[in-house]
Every structure is written in C-alpha cells, then in structure tokens.
Amino acid sequence: MSEEIAVVAGDGIGREVVPPAVDVLDALDRGFEFVEADAGDAVLEATGDPLPEETYDLVASADATLFGSVGESAADVILPLREAVDSFVNVRPAKAYPGVDALRPETDLVFLRENSEGVYKGIESKLTADVSTLTRVVTTSASERLAEYACDYAPEGFTVAHKANVMRETDGRFLDAVEGVADERGVETERALMDALAMHLCLRPEEYDVVVCPNLAGDVLSDLAAGLVGGLGLLPSANVGPERGVFEPVHGTAPDIAGEGVANPCAAILSAAMLLDFLGYGADADRVRDAVEAVLEDGPRTPDLGGDAGTDDVAAAVLDEL
Ligand code: ATP
Ligand code: MG
C-alpha cells in the first residue's frame, strides 16, 4: 500500500527547504505518492484566497502532509489545516546537536502542546473604545486527549506546565484532566508553574524530558527552547491528529534570506522524519535523523550555523549519508 503525502511548500524559504525533505522521503523507496498543493501569500495574491479548497481537501484526505511555511497569511492557512486533520497535539522536540553551537548543549526535550483550544480559539471582542476581551476555552475532552497521547509518548512520566494558581478554572480544569488520565494510566507527572518553568528551562534544561503544555504556554516555551539549542533551522514539529498529521519546520518564511539558496533544510528534513514515525516507519525515521546528525557534526553547513554552504549542498550531504 503506498501512502499519499500532500506537499504544501508555501512561501519564502518553505519553497527551498521542502523539496530536499521530499527528496529524502523519496530516497527511502517506500513508494510514497507525493501530491503538491498551493497555500500562502503567493496564491492569495493570484486568486484572492490563501487556502484554496483543493489544498484543504487534499490535506484532509492525504495520509500525511509535509508543510513548509507561509508568510502574512499564516493564521488563515495553518490554523485551518490543523483543524483539517483534527490535530489535538503539536509535538515540538528541541534537541542540541554535537558540533552545533548551542547556549545549552545538554538540552534534549520535547514539548507536547495542546493544539486545538486555549487562547488560540480566536474569540476576541472589542467591547468599548477602552476595553477588549479574549475568551480562553479549555475542555476536559481536549485535555484528556492530549494526556492520553502524552502517556503513550512518555510512559516514564512527564512534566505538566500550568498556571492554575491564577487561572483556577481553566488551568485547574486542564491540570485535573491531565493528572486524572495519568493517574489512571499509572504514569507519573510533576507540576510546573509555567513562569518558573521558563526560568528552569534556561538554567537546567537537562532536568526535563517531556513537557505537556496548554496551547499558548507551549508556543512560548518551545520557542524559548529553540533559543537554547542554536536556532530555528534545526527545529521540526508535528501537528498530530487521530488519523493524519501536518509536519512542518518551526521556522517561518525567513524573508531576509528567501531566494538566496542558503536556508538550512535540516528542520524540514527532521519534520519529514517525524512524518515517517507517524506513518509507522520508525526505522526509516531513525536513519534520516542519524544522517542529519552526521552532517551537522562534520558536513557542510549553511550560514545560520556558521558555514558557507547552500541548501543544496546540505541536502546532498544528507542524501549521501542515507
Ligand atoms: P515569518 O513571519 O514567516 O515567521 P520571520 O521574519 O519571523 O518570518 P523566521 O522564518 O521566523 O522569519 O526566521 C527568523 C530568523 O531566523 C530569520 O533571521 C531567518 O533568516 C532565520 N531562519 C529561520 N529559519 C531558517 C532556516 N531554515 N535557515 C536559516 N535561517 C533561518
Ligand atoms: Mg517568525
């Protein structure tokens, strides 16, 4: 059976880093069928719609999607695509690699970020000239779904980020739901106040392995961790749903370097490795990660990592290692 993989490169360096990631998947010879589709600022300009219906439908029906990045229209593209696959968790590993300059070389952790609600529901209102409000949505069902995933992912235990001492109702519900599932499954958890956690992550990231977070906290804390490991060019992510997923580098369109052929393709290639894990090709995923690590250790490097190689040089080196 050959899986269908939607390929949505998007804008900016998305168009430069996604093709190498597709080449890597292709090189594994698993018979994947790649189907390309458009989204982002360029299609918006051409058609008036940043997310054409064909693209949405393709992502909603493909076995998995490899996504690049989109510019100004990001919220109008990636949020609906996360919904299209019913994504309830955003998996964000942050790992420092040997040979890459990192603020905290001992960092090796994974954030499991709630991906469907919280403050990102978009429920905002302007009440008066002086007052605006935001409604935060936390449900027991979404929190439990995240917790079930976390228990499968980290049976040895995980940290739960929260601020239930202030947001008693919403984070209180989140904490109760997550701890309830973990208790039932016999998985150990430790609580961490998200503000203190931000400091501890800076000082002693090696003390954390898996951190389960509400949506906004996960967004902020995972970017903080990106800073600890040496930059956006290395960080992959997975938007996981019950049956499908959208896999994308954490970085954006990088307009400052777009079109120059020097974007680091490693984050996109590592996102492809997460896609392989999701589809059940764990051994292939490990091979891809090993190849990337070998190149990071002593292969060509793009300028963000202090080298002078281009995207294509790094991509070719990864394929060689494979
Ligand atoms: P966007 O609004 O699309 O997120 P941005 O201006 O925030 O665009 P990012 O893509 O988030 O840009 O990147 C932030 C910085 O990190 C930029 O200076 C960019 O060049 C650099 N950067 C991001 N990704 C990469 C990459 N893959 N390779 C090299 N540098 C990168
Ligand atoms: Mg950005």
Would the CATH topology of 1-93+232-321 be identical to that of 103-228?
Answer: yes
Question: Domain 103-228 sits in which CATH superfamily?
Answer: Isopropylmalate Dehydrogenase (3.40.718.10)
Residue of 17, 232, 308, 311 with the most ligand 1 atoms within 8 Å of its CB, for mutation: 232
Task: Give the ligand at the shortest distance from the Cα of 69.
Answer: 1
Return the pLDDT at 232: 85
Active site residue 290: no
pLDDT bracket for residue 75 (50, 70, 90): confident
Task: Give the ligand at the shortest distance from the Cα of 260.
Answer: 1
Distance 253 CA to ligand 1 centre (A): 6
**What average pLDDT score do residues 296-300 get?**
94
Query: Which of 176-185, 215-224, 298-307 is modeled with the greatest confidence?
Result: 176-185
Residue 44 in this model has a pLDDT that exceeds 80 = yes
pLDDT digits (tens, 9 = 90+) for 196-225: 999 999 999 999 999 999 999 999 999 999
Residue 1 in this model has a pLDDT that exceeds 80 = no
What is the rounded distance in angstroms from the CA atom of residue 318 to the CA atom of residue 322?
6
Question: How high does pLDDT run on average in the chain?
Answer: 96
Residue 147 in this model has a pLDDT that exceeds 90 = yes
* Residues sharing a CB contact under 8 Å with residue 190, sequence separation 6 or more, in sequence order: 157, 158, 159, 160
pLDDT bracket for residue 294 (50, 70, 90): very high
Active site residue 149: no
**Separation of CA 48 from chain center:** 27
Would you list the domain boundaries of the chain?
A: 1-93+232-321, 103-228
pLDDT digits (tens, 9 = 90+) for 57-66: 999 999 999 9
**What average pLDDT score do residues 96-121 get?**
93
**What average pLDDT score do residues 285-297 get?**
97
**What average pLDDT score do residues 30-40 get?**
97
Return the pLDDT at 2: 87
Q: Which CATH number is associated with domain 1-93+232-321?
A: 3.40.718.10
| Cβ neighbours around 123 below 10 Å, total | 12
Active site residue 284: no
Return the pLDDT at 9: 98
Cβ(146) to ligand 1 under 6 A?
no
Atom of ligand 1 nearest to the CA of 11: 3
Give the burial string for 130-146 (b: 16+ CB within 10 Å, else e). eeeeeebebeeebbbbb
pLDDT bracket for residue 99 (50, 70, 90): confident
Residue 120 in this model has a pLDDT that exceeds 90 = no
Return the pLDDT at 275: 98
Share of the chain above pLDDT 70, in %: 100
Active site residue 120: yes
Q: Provide long-range contacts, Cβ within 8 A and 24+ apart, for 131-139.
A: 136/167, 136/170, 138/170, 138/171, 138/173, 138/174, 138/214, 139/173
Tokens 């954006």 belong to residue? 252
Q: What is the ipTM of this complex?
A: 0.95
